Structure 1
Amino acid sequence: MRTTISIIGTWALKSFVTEFDDGSTLLPYGDNPQGRIVYAGSGFMSAHLWNPDRHVQGANSSEYPSYFSYCGDWSIEGPVVRHRVHAATEASWAGQDKLRTMTPIGELLELTAEGVVFGGKEGRGILVWERL
């Protein structure tokens, strides 16, 4: 039986790991990633991720970002939440749909993003969120 969870509200990032097809992993925002994702009942969302150890002036790069954000509309399609991106720190995301597979883990929410790229390698990002 699949447990359902309402995603409306504000969530704090608990962990973010990227798993690559070769079996390697990366913590793209460090050992203590920070972030917030907000899902409004109106269908609007925004996400902000940062590495508190690297988020200083001049430390952000597209290959290993210290801060990333985007916003847009959201909708749920079965176990997937669709983010229709309006604007992002990575301008190429604008106008794209970003799909996240949702897995409830008790009171936590795991969102899995396929096709994330760090250091020129593609993998899947697994983000665990806790409701605030």
Structure 2
Amino acid sequence: MAQAANFVGTWKLLDYAFLYDDGRVERPWGEEVAGYLLYSAEGYMSGNLSAARQSRSVERGRDGTSSRRRDYIAYAGPYTVGEETIIHHVEVSLFPNWLGTAQVRYHTLEGDKLVLRTPPVLSDEGRMAVQLIWQRVRASEVL
């Protein structure tokens, strides 16, 4: 049975992909991604992830927000672990529409690899889920 203690620590992002029902795999940020996911023993999480190589140019929308928002994800809050899911209860986020939501992620944890997958959603390209693959960071790997 999955327990919160199994997730506690720092995780480095290895892969970010859209998995379509028809078998297509799309990597919207390319092959190189960057990011960290932290789960604390106190029951809080924080995630920050993006394309590894971001453009320095920023396009501004009419509302003054950056178009980069879709190329960077950041949010934090408490988390709860279930047998098949881990739920991120969003208290702070780069995306205002995520505030107060429960971001459900299906998890597979094998050794130092953590795979998180969103529930399927309907997009312009078809039904898909977002899959993130993380590698546990060990103290000996820190600079």
Same fold (TM over 0.5): yes
Q: How many residues align?
A: 130
In structure 1, the residue corresponding to 2:67 is in which secondary structure? coil
Distance of 2:123 and 2:54 partners within structure 1: 16
Identity of aligned residues (%): 25
Distance of 1:109 and 1:67 partners within structure 2: 20
CA spacing shift, 1:128–1:88, aligned 2, 3 Å: same
CA spacing shift, 1:39–1:3, aligned 2, 3 Å: closer
Distance of 1:126 and 1:33 partners within structure 2: 13
Per-residue Cα deviation, 1:51-94 (whole angstroms, up to 9, x for no partner): 122253416637x8221101111010112101000121111000
In structure 1, the residue corresponding to 2:30 is in which secondary structure? coil
Distance of 2:2 and 2:40 partners within structure 1: 21
Distance of 1:130 and 1:61 partners within structure 2: 29
Distance of 2:14 and 2:58 partners within structure 1: 25
Would you say the 8 A contact 1:28–1:118 is kept in 2?
no
CA spacing shift, 1:28–1:117, aligned 2, 3 Å: farther
Over the aligned positions, Cα root-mean-square deviation in angstroms equals 2.5
More strand by share: 1
CA spacing shift, 1:36–1:72, aligned 2, 3 Å: same
